[in-house]
Amino acid sequence: MLVNSISNKRVLVTGGAGVIGQELIRLLVPKRAHILSIDRFPLPEMFDSVSHLQKDLSTDRLDEILDFHPQLIFHLAAAFERSKESQGFWPVNWTDNIILSHRILDVAKHIGGLETFVFASSYLVYSPLLYLSKTIPQQAVCINENDPKGTAT
């Protein structure tokens, strides 16, 4: 398992203050990873050995990621509705999932020595023509298993 081979490695966890992020950090700390967590929410005090930046990854500068030079990135930062998707959620989905994820991937392209990028979403396997636009869409875009696959540019 990947978590077993991270001793002394620099590990970035986006969304570290979230449920999944906290659980991952609990697994990484005993492995002596050098962890940088980034989330718009504070990290619980029980993680006092973990470096944490409280910022909005969809809008704030991301220079600290390049300065940290992570060898592994676990990109977990995301927003979702726990029930039926509503139109009011679309702007949140747009900024916290699509824009934020593309910004993290754009930074990752410039990290020398990056060994692993774990992404907790699957929409990026599809053609960017299905989900990218210059403005927030006025209606949801349903991506299906049979839609064209492609890579983001």
Overall residue count recorded for the chain in this entry: 153
Asked whether 126 and 147 are in contact (CB, 8 A), the reply is yes
Report which of residues 63 and 5 the model is more confident about. 63
Burial of 70 (0-12, 13-18, 19+ CB in 10 A): buried
Asked whether 123 and 75 are in contact (CB, 8 A), the reply is no
Report which of residues 84 and 47 the model is more confident about. 47
Question: What pLDDT sits at residue 134?
Answer: 79
Q: Which of 61-65, 80-84, 119-123 has the highest mean pLDDT?
A: 61-65
Question: What pLDDT sits at residue 72?
Answer: 97
Question: What pLDDT sits at residue 126?
Answer: 67
Q: Give strand pairing partners of 62.
A: none
State the pLDDT confidence band at 152, using cuts at 50, 70 and 90.
very low
Query: Does pLDDT of 83 surpass 60?
Result: no
The domains of the chain are located at: 2-124
**CATH number of the domain at 2-124, please?**
3.40.50.720
The most distant pair of C-alpha atoms in the chain lies apart, rounded to whole Å, by 46
34-39 β-sheet, strand order: 51-54, 34-39, 10-14, 72-75, 116-119
Please tell me the distance from the alpha carbon of residue 36 to that of residue 130, in angstroms, as a whole number: 32
